[in-house]
Amino acid sequence: MSSSITTADPMPILELLNAFRKSQVLFTSVELGLFDHLASGPKSLTELATILAAKPDSLERLLGACVLLGLVQHTPEGGFANTLTASAYLTSNSPNRFTGYINYSNAILWQMWDHLPNAIREGTHRWKETFGSDGPIFSHFFRTEEAKREFLFGMHGFGLVSSPHVVEAVDLTRFQTLADLGGATGHLAIAACRRYPHLKGIVSDLPEVVGLTREVVDGTNVANRIQIVPGDFFNDPLPEADLYTLGRILHDWSEDKILKLLKRIYDALPSRGALLIAEKVLNEDKAGPEWAVLQSLNMLICTEGKERTFKEYETLLKQVGFREVEYKPTPSPLDVVLAVK
Protein backbone atom coordinates (compact mmCIF):
# COMPACT_ATOMS: atom_id res chain seq x y z
CA MET A 1 0.00 0.00 0.00
CA SER A 2 1.43 3.39 -0.96
CA SER A 3 2.45 5.79 1.80
CA SER A 4 0.31 8.55 0.23
CA ILE A 5 -2.82 6.50 0.91
CA THR A 6 -1.92 5.48 4.45
CA THR A 7 -1.16 9.10 5.42
CA ALA A 8 -4.35 10.55 3.88
CA ASP A 9 -6.43 12.60 6.31
CA PRO A 10 -9.62 10.67 7.24
CA MET A 11 -11.26 13.62 9.05
CA PRO A 12 -13.22 15.04 6.08
CA ILE A 13 -14.90 11.65 5.65
CA LEU A 14 -15.59 11.25 9.35
CA GLU A 15 -17.04 14.77 9.54
CA LEU A 16 -19.36 13.98 6.63
CA LEU A 17 -20.50 10.80 8.37
CA ASN A 18 -21.48 12.95 11.36
CA ALA A 19 -23.21 15.68 9.34
CA PHE A 20 -26.67 14.08 9.19
CA ARG A 21 -26.54 13.42 12.93
CA LYS A 22 -26.01 17.12 13.60
CA SER A 23 -28.96 17.98 11.35
CA GLN A 24 -31.19 15.56 13.22
CA VAL A 25 -30.19 17.08 16.56
CA LEU A 26 -31.46 20.41 15.23
CA PHE A 27 -34.59 18.95 13.60
CA THR A 28 -35.56 16.88 16.65
CA SER A 29 -34.96 19.68 19.13
CA VAL A 30 -37.17 22.05 17.13
CA GLU A 31 -39.85 19.39 16.64
CA LEU A 32 -39.93 18.65 20.38
CA GLY A 33 -40.23 22.35 21.17
CA LEU A 34 -37.07 22.33 23.28
CA PHE A 35 -36.07 25.90 22.45
CA ASP A 36 -39.59 27.21 22.97
CA HIS A 37 -39.72 25.70 26.44
CA LEU A 38 -36.36 27.26 27.29
CA ALA A 39 -37.50 30.64 25.95
CA SER A 40 -39.24 31.40 29.26
CA GLY A 41 -36.03 30.80 31.19
CA PRO A 42 -33.47 28.13 32.17
CA LYS A 43 -34.73 24.73 33.26
CA SER A 44 -33.26 21.65 34.85
CA LEU A 45 -33.02 18.28 33.15
CA THR A 46 -35.83 16.97 35.34
CA GLU A 47 -38.11 19.88 34.47
CA LEU A 48 -37.45 19.50 30.75
CA ALA A 49 -37.96 15.74 30.85
CA THR A 50 -41.36 16.26 32.50
CA ILE A 51 -42.41 19.02 30.06
CA LEU A 52 -41.30 17.09 26.98
CA ALA A 53 -42.49 13.69 28.29
CA ALA A 54 -39.00 12.33 27.60
CA LYS A 55 -36.71 9.91 29.39
CA PRO A 56 -34.12 11.93 31.36
CA ASP A 57 -31.17 9.83 30.15
CA SER A 58 -32.01 10.16 26.46
CA LEU A 59 -32.91 13.85 26.80
CA GLU A 60 -29.59 14.49 28.55
CA ARG A 61 -27.82 13.09 25.49
CA LEU A 62 -29.79 15.38 23.18
CA LEU A 63 -29.05 18.38 25.40
CA GLY A 64 -25.37 17.48 25.39
CA ALA A 65 -25.41 17.52 21.61
CA CYS A 66 -27.20 20.89 21.61
CA VAL A 67 -24.52 22.29 23.92
CA LEU A 68 -21.83 20.91 21.61
CA LEU A 69 -23.50 22.58 18.59
CA GLY A 70 -23.86 25.95 20.33
CA LEU A 71 -27.66 25.87 20.60
CA VAL A 72 -27.99 25.35 24.36
CA GLN A 73 -25.72 26.35 27.25
CA HIS A 74 -25.24 25.15 30.81
CA THR A 75 -26.31 27.48 33.60
CA PRO A 76 -24.33 27.99 36.85
CA GLU A 77 -27.15 26.22 38.70
CA GLY A 78 -26.71 23.09 36.61
CA GLY A 79 -29.64 23.66 34.29
CA PHE A 80 -29.93 24.49 30.60
CA ALA A 81 -30.69 27.70 28.70
CA ASN A 82 -30.95 28.81 25.08
CA THR A 83 -27.95 30.47 23.50
CA LEU A 84 -28.52 33.82 21.78
CA THR A 85 -28.50 32.01 18.43
CA ALA A 86 -31.27 29.63 19.50
CA SER A 87 -33.33 32.46 20.98
CA ALA A 88 -33.09 34.45 17.74
CA TYR A 89 -33.67 31.72 15.18
CA LEU A 90 -35.14 28.62 16.84
CA THR A 91 -38.03 29.89 18.97
CA SER A 92 -41.47 30.11 17.43
CA ASN A 93 -42.20 33.61 18.75
CA SER A 94 -39.07 35.20 17.29
CA PRO A 95 -39.64 37.39 14.21
CA ASN A 96 -36.30 36.09 12.89
CA ARG A 97 -37.18 32.41 13.28
CA PHE A 98 -36.09 29.70 10.86
CA THR A 99 -38.35 27.11 12.48
CA GLY A 100 -40.83 26.86 9.60
CA TYR A 101 -38.08 26.08 7.12
CA ILE A 102 -36.40 23.73 9.59
CA ASN A 103 -39.62 21.74 10.05
CA TYR A 104 -40.12 21.72 6.27
CA SER A 105 -36.55 20.43 5.85
CA ASN A 106 -37.20 17.69 8.37
CA ALA A 107 -40.66 16.59 7.20
CA ILE A 108 -40.21 17.03 3.44
CA LEU A 109 -36.66 17.68 2.24
CA TRP A 110 -35.17 14.94 4.42
CA GLN A 111 -37.35 12.36 2.68
CA MET A 112 -36.75 13.78 -0.78
CA TRP A 113 -32.98 13.80 -0.40
CA ASP A 114 -33.19 10.06 0.22
CA HIS A 115 -33.90 9.81 -3.52
CA LEU A 116 -30.87 11.82 -4.65
CA PRO A 117 -29.44 8.87 -6.65
CA ASN A 118 -32.55 8.77 -8.85
CA ALA A 119 -32.53 12.55 -9.20
CA ILE A 120 -28.96 12.32 -10.49
CA ARG A 121 -29.82 9.49 -12.89
CA GLU A 122 -33.02 11.06 -14.24
CA GLY A 123 -32.34 14.78 -13.81
CA THR A 124 -35.79 15.51 -12.37
CA HIS A 125 -37.28 16.46 -9.00
CA ARG A 126 -38.46 13.81 -6.55
CA TRP A 127 -41.96 14.98 -5.51
CA LYS A 128 -43.73 12.14 -7.31
CA GLU A 129 -41.33 9.46 -6.09
CA THR A 130 -41.44 10.68 -2.49
CA PHE A 131 -45.03 11.81 -2.02
CA GLY A 132 -46.92 10.50 -5.04
CA SER A 133 -47.81 13.96 -6.32
CA ASP A 134 -46.36 16.56 -8.68
CA GLY A 135 -48.78 19.20 -7.45
CA PRO A 136 -47.96 22.75 -6.34
CA ILE A 137 -46.26 22.95 -2.98
CA PHE A 138 -48.83 25.27 -1.37
CA SER A 139 -51.88 23.19 -2.25
CA HIS A 140 -50.35 19.82 -1.38
CA PHE A 141 -48.07 20.46 1.57
CA PHE A 142 -49.31 23.69 3.19
CA ARG A 143 -53.02 22.97 3.28
CA THR A 144 -53.48 24.91 6.51
CA GLU A 145 -52.85 28.61 6.96
CA GLU A 146 -50.59 27.87 9.93
CA ALA A 147 -48.33 25.52 7.94
CA LYS A 148 -48.03 28.02 5.10
CA ARG A 149 -47.43 30.87 7.53
CA GLU A 150 -44.64 29.05 9.34
CA PHE A 151 -42.88 28.11 6.08
CA LEU A 152 -43.05 31.71 4.84
CA PHE A 153 -41.76 33.01 8.17
CA GLY A 154 -38.89 30.53 7.89
CA MET A 155 -38.00 32.03 4.53
CA HIS A 156 -38.52 35.48 6.07
CA GLY A 157 -35.79 34.61 8.58
CA PHE A 158 -33.42 33.93 5.70
CA GLY A 159 -34.48 37.20 4.13
CA LEU A 160 -33.72 39.19 7.26
CA VAL A 161 -30.19 37.78 7.16
CA SER A 162 -29.66 38.39 3.42
CA SER A 163 -31.68 41.41 2.30
CA PRO A 164 -29.67 44.13 4.06
CA HIS A 165 -26.53 42.80 2.38
CA VAL A 166 -28.29 42.65 -0.99
CA VAL A 167 -29.42 46.30 -0.96
CA GLU A 168 -25.97 47.43 0.22
CA ALA A 169 -24.09 45.54 -2.49
CA VAL A 170 -25.02 47.95 -5.30
CA ASP A 171 -25.97 51.65 -5.33
CA LEU A 172 -29.72 51.98 -5.89
CA THR A 173 -29.87 55.75 -5.35
CA ARG A 174 -30.95 56.60 -8.90
CA PHE A 175 -34.05 54.39 -8.82
CA GLN A 176 -37.45 55.69 -7.75
CA THR A 177 -39.66 52.58 -7.50
CA LEU A 178 -38.59 49.04 -6.65
CA ALA A 179 -40.99 46.18 -7.44
CA ASP A 180 -40.08 42.88 -5.81
CA LEU A 181 -41.70 40.08 -7.78
CA GLY A 182 -42.47 36.98 -5.75
CA GLY A 183 -41.49 39.09 -2.74
CA ALA A 184 -43.22 36.94 -0.07
CA THR A 185 -43.04 38.77 3.28
CA GLY A 186 -41.51 41.88 1.71
CA HIS A 187 -38.14 41.68 3.48
CA LEU A 188 -36.19 42.84 0.40
CA ALA A 189 -38.43 45.85 -0.27
CA ILE A 190 -38.37 46.73 3.44
CA ALA A 191 -34.56 46.61 3.55
CA ALA A 192 -34.30 48.72 0.38
CA CYS A 193 -36.74 51.37 1.62
CA ARG A 194 -34.91 51.59 4.93
CA ARG A 195 -31.58 52.13 3.20
CA TYR A 196 -32.91 54.56 0.56
CA PRO A 197 -35.35 57.06 2.13
CA HIS A 198 -36.57 58.35 -1.26
CA LEU A 199 -37.42 54.90 -2.63
CA LYS A 200 -40.95 53.59 -3.06
CA GLY A 201 -41.51 49.85 -2.89
CA ILE A 202 -43.97 47.35 -4.34
CA VAL A 203 -44.23 43.74 -3.24
CA SER A 204 -46.04 41.42 -5.64
CA ASP A 205 -46.85 37.79 -4.90
CA LEU A 206 -49.63 35.25 -5.24
CA PRO A 207 -53.02 36.10 -3.66
CA GLU A 208 -52.58 33.38 -1.02
CA VAL A 209 -49.34 35.01 0.15
CA VAL A 210 -50.01 38.76 0.20
CA GLY A 211 -52.09 38.70 3.39
CA LEU A 212 -48.94 37.80 5.31
CA THR A 213 -46.97 40.35 3.28
CA ARG A 214 -49.31 43.09 4.48
CA GLU A 215 -49.03 41.91 8.07
CA VAL A 216 -45.24 42.05 8.00
CA VAL A 217 -44.96 45.32 6.06
CA ASP A 218 -47.49 47.07 8.30
CA GLY A 219 -45.29 46.32 11.28
CA THR A 220 -42.35 48.31 9.88
CA ASN A 221 -41.41 51.98 9.81
CA VAL A 222 -41.54 52.07 5.99
CA ALA A 223 -45.07 50.71 5.49
CA ASN A 224 -46.30 54.02 4.05
CA ARG A 225 -43.86 53.62 1.13
CA ILE A 226 -44.62 50.00 0.24
CA GLN A 227 -47.59 48.88 -1.85
CA ILE A 228 -48.80 45.27 -1.90
CA VAL A 229 -49.98 43.92 -5.27
CA PRO A 230 -51.34 40.36 -5.73
CA GLY A 231 -50.28 38.75 -8.97
CA ASP A 232 -48.61 35.94 -10.90
CA PHE A 233 -45.43 37.28 -12.51
CA PHE A 234 -45.65 34.78 -15.35
CA ASN A 235 -49.16 35.80 -16.41
CA ASP A 236 -50.41 39.04 -14.84
CA PRO A 237 -49.35 42.57 -15.81
CA LEU A 238 -46.24 43.62 -13.89
CA PRO A 239 -46.50 46.66 -11.61
CA GLU A 240 -44.78 49.78 -12.98
CA ALA A 241 -41.26 50.31 -11.67
CA ASP A 242 -37.80 51.36 -12.79
CA LEU A 243 -36.18 48.60 -10.72
CA TYR A 244 -37.48 45.03 -10.51
CA THR A 245 -36.06 42.54 -8.05
CA LEU A 246 -36.14 38.74 -8.00
CA GLY A 247 -34.95 37.17 -4.76
CA ARG A 248 -34.54 33.38 -4.68
CA ILE A 249 -36.85 33.11 -7.70
CA LEU A 250 -34.84 32.23 -10.80
CA HIS A 251 -33.19 29.19 -9.22
CA ASP A 252 -36.63 27.52 -9.15
CA TRP A 253 -37.14 27.48 -12.91
CA SER A 254 -35.96 26.02 -16.20
CA GLU A 255 -34.21 28.28 -18.71
CA ASP A 256 -37.32 28.49 -20.90
CA LYS A 257 -39.39 29.87 -18.04
CA ILE A 258 -36.57 32.14 -16.88
CA LEU A 259 -36.27 33.63 -20.35
CA LYS A 260 -40.03 34.20 -20.46
CA LEU A 261 -39.95 36.05 -17.14
CA LEU A 262 -36.82 38.04 -18.01
CA LYS A 263 -38.37 39.13 -21.31
CA ARG A 264 -41.54 40.30 -19.52
CA ILE A 265 -39.42 42.32 -17.11
CA TYR A 266 -37.22 43.76 -19.86
CA ASP A 267 -40.25 44.86 -21.87
CA ALA A 268 -41.85 46.49 -18.79
CA LEU A 269 -38.76 48.47 -17.80
CA PRO A 270 -38.13 52.04 -18.94
CA SER A 271 -34.81 52.88 -20.61
CA ARG A 272 -31.99 52.67 -18.01
CA GLY A 273 -34.28 50.74 -15.72
CA ALA A 274 -32.77 47.63 -14.13
CA LEU A 275 -33.33 44.16 -12.76
CA LEU A 276 -31.67 43.06 -9.51
CA ILE A 277 -31.33 39.30 -9.08
CA ALA A 278 -30.60 38.00 -5.59
CA GLU A 279 -29.29 34.43 -5.73
CA LYS A 280 -26.18 32.71 -4.40
CA VAL A 281 -23.93 32.63 -7.45
CA LEU A 282 -21.81 29.57 -8.20
CA ASN A 283 -18.10 29.88 -8.81
CA GLU A 284 -17.23 29.36 -12.44
CA ASP A 285 -15.87 25.86 -11.66
CA LYS A 286 -19.18 25.09 -9.85
CA ALA A 287 -17.31 23.73 -6.82
CA GLY A 288 -18.20 26.61 -4.48
CA PRO A 289 -19.34 28.41 -2.49
CA GLU A 290 -20.76 25.70 -0.25
CA TRP A 291 -24.23 27.24 0.09
CA ALA A 292 -24.69 27.49 -3.69
CA VAL A 293 -23.32 24.02 -4.47
CA LEU A 294 -25.58 22.26 -1.96
CA GLN A 295 -28.57 24.45 -2.82
CA SER A 296 -28.15 23.53 -6.48
CA LEU A 297 -28.55 19.87 -5.55
CA ASN A 298 -31.58 20.84 -3.48
CA MET A 299 -33.08 22.56 -6.52
CA LEU A 300 -32.58 19.37 -8.52
CA ILE A 301 -34.51 17.41 -5.90
CA CYS A 302 -37.30 19.98 -5.38
CA THR A 303 -37.72 22.04 -8.55
CA GLU A 304 -36.91 22.24 -12.24
CA GLY A 305 -34.19 24.81 -11.55
CA LYS A 306 -30.60 25.10 -10.30
CA GLU A 307 -28.01 27.58 -9.08
CA ARG A 308 -25.96 29.30 -11.77
CA THR A 309 -22.64 31.02 -12.37
CA PHE A 310 -22.44 34.71 -13.16
CA LYS A 311 -21.62 33.92 -16.80
CA GLU A 312 -24.76 31.77 -17.02
CA TYR A 313 -26.90 34.59 -15.60
CA GLU A 314 -25.20 37.09 -17.90
CA THR A 315 -25.92 34.93 -20.94
CA LEU A 316 -29.61 34.66 -20.05
CA LEU A 317 -29.93 38.38 -19.38
CA LYS A 318 -28.21 39.42 -22.58
CA GLN A 319 -30.34 36.98 -24.54
CA VAL A 320 -33.44 39.07 -23.75
CA GLY A 321 -31.77 42.43 -24.39
CA PHE A 322 -29.93 43.54 -21.24
CA ARG A 323 -26.47 44.87 -22.06
CA GLU A 324 -24.87 46.05 -18.80
CA VAL A 325 -24.63 43.20 -16.30
CA GLU A 326 -22.57 43.24 -13.09
CA TYR A 327 -22.05 40.82 -10.22
CA LYS A 328 -21.51 41.67 -6.56
CA PRO A 329 -20.87 38.88 -4.01
CA THR A 330 -22.04 39.34 -0.43
CA PRO A 331 -21.18 37.55 2.84
CA SER A 332 -24.81 36.42 3.13
CA PRO A 333 -26.66 33.44 1.57
CA LEU A 334 -27.48 35.66 -1.46
CA ASP A 335 -25.33 37.54 -3.97
CA VAL A 336 -26.40 40.24 -6.44
CA VAL A 337 -26.56 40.40 -10.22
CA LEU A 338 -27.67 43.78 -11.59
CA ALA A 339 -28.73 44.16 -15.24
CA VAL A 340 -29.50 47.53 -16.85
CA LYS A 341 -31.74 48.09 -19.86
Task: Please give the positions annotated as active site.
Answer: 251
Strands 226-230 and 200-205: parallel
Do residues 222 and 201 touch, judged by C-beta distance below 8 A?
yes
Task: Count CB atoms within 10 A of the CB of residue 229.
Answer: 17
Q: Taking the C-alpha atoms of 302, 105, 112 and 309 in order, what is their torsion angle to the nearest 10 degrees?
A: 40
Q: How far is 165 from 219, CA to CA, in rounded Å?
A: 21
Residues 6+ apart with CB under 8 A from 132: none
Q: How far is 28 from 226, CA to CA, in rounded Å?
A: 38
Q: How far is 138 from 161, CA to CA, in rounded Å?
A: 24
**Residue 68, helix vs strand vs coil:** helix
Q: What single letter denotes the amino acid at residue 18?
A: N
